[in-house]
């Protein structure tokens, strides 16, 4: 008897601690949102408008645009844009081959950089290097990055003497190229991998004569942006090659290690511009490489996403950038919000009328679920670029029904246990054991449906699916960490345990003449 009393005493205390812990987490997330300045939801194209970028394929005069190449470019650009997060972006092609990319908000510069770049990556041996505006091939003030065997990078002067393989035509083109002029380092063209290349560094401080490409971007298996603590806490992009790439990169690094500077450098060329040209001191056969270039986190992330999803099959030029108005007016937004509010009020009224005092648990559960959902929208907008659209609002409205289903299943199980003659304290636990499985199965079905919609649909449907999945997960948190613990705490309150008329557990509410507490003893 004493052991049972002790166990019964611990349950409400544990339930109280669970609710308190959930409240602390909620307050912490609210403080984090305020600290990050995220007090307003990010809205999608249909609710706030955004930026529209028109890209046109670069083709020779009179040449036709390859439709299959345009379709492939659309697919790659869509992947790149989606890598920014659930941004409800739209990517479509026109009959003339133009590609239109629409992204919520005013983020035109990043959109152009992310979707317009061809992202053609190649590794080439450096044949000659000089200052960005050098007019002579005999001197150079450029520097290169040396990677020592210990992994430390050291800046050292680079030679500008040309090897015998560099002909007079390349020499003349090298001298005439002024990389300090921004127009001369626009990139964006697909260079011939089988031919030498004259190229500028991204900042225009150096120019290069490069040998034909030996490693291609399509031989990159993975690309990830990481924080490099050994490089002044800068961001870098780590590459992993496939089998062919590992073999090709190993051969390149093995051959150049024995050469004099600058021919012992391997240039990393992206869209015709040299990102970096480190000196190779030893063969690299591990199948990995690192791209450095004073990247910010955004730069490194965008570069890794470009490389991860592959290069565009054709070069694109930006035709125009426009700010677009919301596709839905304020009336539609207000109508959607009003529908959600009406649904919420109806659920609350039904809960209070049918479950009486027990309906307070329903109201509390909906308030907690709404708070978690709203904070999730705020923080995900900052972390992954999540934007809320009318389709997302629809998903949130559906979640009201999911949350209501969870506590209704539990309440009915609990009331069945009380009808069978068990005390409220016992019914709370036995009813939960029976209801828990049903709640889990129902929510997991919703999660599976949301996942399938998200991965196999496009456009607004993905926003609906993401919101539905998120709010279903929130429902699981609420029912396990608030609804059930709250009912456990209330079961110790005389108003509920004694089946008072307005408690929702009275004999009249349950449809029985008396409540027999056979388990109280």
Give the confidence band of 101 by pLDDT, cuts at 50, 70, 90. confident
Rounded to an integer, what distance in angstroms lies between the CA atom of residue 387 and that of residue 326? 14
Residue 238 tokens read as: 């780590």
Domains and CATH numbers, the chain: 11-43+328-510 (1.20.1640.10), 50-114 (3.30.70), 119-310 (3.30.1360.200)
Q: How far is CA 194 from CA 124, 148, 214, 513, in A?
A: 10, 30, 9, 92
pLDDT in tens, 395-454: 888 888 888 888 889 988 888 888 888 888 888 889 999 899 999 999 999 999 999 988
Residue 28 tokens read as: 């912490």
Dihedral in degrees, nearest 10, Cα atoms 471, 477, 481, 484: 70
Whose CA is closest to 121, among 249, 297, 265, 15? 249
Rounded to an integer, what distance in angstroms lies between the CA atom of residue 265 and that of residue 349? 73
Q: How far is CA 148 from CA 113, 159, 276, 290, 470, in A?
A: 33, 18, 16, 14, 48
Q: Over range 263-273, report the average pLDDT.
A: 88
Of the ranges 140-144, 203-207, 480-484, 498-502, which one carries the lowest mean pLDDT score? 140-144
pLDDT in tens, 116-134: 677 788 899 999 898 888 7
Selected residue with higher pLDDT from 312 and 7: 312
Rounded to an integer, what distance in angstroms lies between the CA atom of residue 232 and that of residue 297? 13
| DSSP element (H, E) containing 290 | strand 288-295
Selected residue with higher pLDDT from 214 and 84: 214
Percentage of the chain beyond pLDDT 70 is 81
User: How high is the pLDDT of residue 314?
Assistant: 78
User: How high is the pLDDT of residue 145?
Assistant: 38
Residue 475 tokens read as: 């429902």
User: How high is the pLDDT of residue 60?
Assistant: 67
pLDDT in tens, 316-336: 888 888 776 766 555 666 776
Q: Sign of the CA dihedral 84, 85, 90, 95?
A: positive
Residue 362 has pLDDT above 90, yes or no: no
User: pLDDT averaged over the chain?
Assistant: 79
Give the confidence band of 307 by pLDDT, cuts at 50, 70, 90. confident
User: How high is the pLDDT of residue 233?
Assistant: 61
Of the ranges 3-17, 64-78, 207-221, 394-408, which one carries the lowest mean pLDDT score? 3-17
Residue 473 has pLDDT above 70, yes or no: yes
The interaxial angle of helices 390-419 and 330-355, nearest 10 deg, is 0
Give the confidence band of 254 by pLDDT, cuts at 50, 70, 90. very high
Q: Over range 364-385, report the average pLDDT.
A: 86
- Looking at residue 265, the DSSP 8-state letter turns out to be B
Rounded to an integer, what distance in angstroms lies between the CA atom of residue 106 and that of residue 280? 42
Selected residue with higher pLDDT from 155 and 72: 72
pLDDT in tens, 291-303: 877 788 888 888 8
When computed from its CA atoms, the radius of gyration of the chain, rounded to whole angstroms, is 32
Rounded to an integer, what distance in angstroms lies between the CA atom of residue 494 and that of residue 487? 13
Selected residue with higher pLDDT from 206 and 108: 206
Q: Which residue has the tokens 């709404």?
A: 370
Residue 29 has pLDDT above 70, yes or no: yes
Q: What φ, ψ does residue 294 adopt, rounded to 5°? A: 55, 45
As a three-state string, the secondary structure of 29-69 is HHHHHHHCCCCCCCECHHHHCEEEEEEEECCCCCCCCCHHH
Rounded to an integer, what distance in angstroms lies between the CA atom of residue 391 and that of residue 68? 31
Q: Over range 168-183, report the average pLDDT.
A: 84
Give the confidence band of 12 by pLDDT, cuts at 50, 70, 90. low
Q: Over range 75-90, report the average pLDDT.
A: 72
User: How high is the pLDDT of residue 85?
Assistant: 59
Q: How far is CA 102 from CA 16, 46, 52, 117, 330, in A?
A: 48, 11, 4, 16, 20
Whose CA is closest to 280, among 297, 299, 257? 257
User: How high is the pLDDT of residue 345?
Assistant: 87
User: How high is the pLDDT of residue 182?
Assistant: 85
């Amino acid at each position: 008897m004493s052991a049972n009393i002790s166990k019964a005493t611990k349950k409400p205390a544990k339930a109280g601690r669970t609710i308190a812990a959930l409240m602390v987490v909620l307050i912490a997330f609210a403080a984090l949102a305020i600290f990050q300045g995220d007090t307003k939801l990010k809205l999608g194209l249909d609710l706030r408008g955004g930026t529209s970028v028109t890209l046109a394929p670069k083709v020779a005069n009179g040449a036709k645009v390859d439709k299959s190449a345009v379709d492939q470019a659309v697919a790659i650009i869509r992947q790149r844009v989606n890598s920014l997060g659930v941004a409800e972006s739209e990517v479509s092609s026109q009959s003339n081959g133009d590609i239109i990319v629409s992204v919520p908000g005013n983020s035109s510069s990043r959109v152009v950089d992310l979707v317009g770049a061809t992202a053609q990556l190649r590794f080439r041996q450096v044949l000659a290097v000089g200052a960005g505006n050098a007019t002579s091939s005999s001197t150079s003030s450029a520097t290169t990055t040396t990677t020592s065997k210990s992994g430390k990078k050291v800046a050292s002067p680079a030679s500008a003497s040309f090897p015998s393989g560099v002909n007079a035509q390349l020499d003349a083109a090298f001298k005439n190229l002024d990389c300090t002029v921004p127009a001369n380092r626009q990139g964006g063209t697909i260079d011939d991998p089988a031919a030498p290349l004259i190229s500028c560094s991204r900042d225009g401080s150096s120019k290069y004569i490069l040998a034909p490409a030996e490693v291609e971007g399509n031989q990159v298996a993975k690309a990830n942006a990481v924080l490099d603590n050994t490089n002044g806490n800068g961001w870098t992009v780590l590459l992993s090659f496939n089998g062919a790439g590992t073999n090709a990169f190993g051969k390149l690094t093995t051959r150049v290690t024995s050469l004099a500077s600058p021919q012992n450098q391997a240039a990393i060329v992206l869209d015709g511009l040299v990102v970096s040209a480190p000196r190779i001191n030893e063969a690299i056969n591990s199948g990995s490489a690192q791209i450095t270039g004073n990247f910010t986190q955004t730069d490194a992330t965008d570069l890794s996403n470009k490389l991860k999803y592959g290069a565009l099959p054709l070069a694109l030029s930006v035709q125009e950038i426009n700010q677009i108005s919301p596709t839905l007016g304020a009336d539609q937004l207000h109508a959607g919000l009003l529908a959600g509010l009406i649904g919420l009020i109806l659920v609350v009224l039904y809960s209070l009328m049918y479950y009486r005092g027990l309906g307070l648990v329903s109201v509390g559960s909906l308030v907690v679920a709404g708070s978690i959902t709203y904070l999730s929208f705020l923080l995900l907008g900052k972390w992954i670029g999540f934007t809320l659209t009318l389709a997302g609002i629809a998903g949130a409205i559906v979640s009201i029904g999911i949350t209501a289903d969870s506590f209704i299943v539990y309440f009915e199980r609990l009331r069945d246990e009380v009808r069978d003659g068990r005390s409220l304290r016992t019914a709370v636990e036995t009813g939960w054991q029976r209801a828990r499985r049903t709640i889990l199965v129902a929510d997991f079905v919703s999660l599976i449906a949301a996942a399938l919609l998200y991965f196999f649909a496009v456009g607004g449907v993905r926003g609906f699916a993401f919101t539905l999945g998120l709010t279903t997960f929130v429902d699981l948190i609420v029912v396990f960490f608030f609804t059930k613990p709250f009912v456990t705490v209330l079961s110790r309150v005389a108003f509920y345990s004694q089946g008072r008329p307005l408690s929702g557990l009275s004999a009249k509410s349950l449809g029985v003449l008396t409540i027999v507490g056979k388990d109280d003893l």
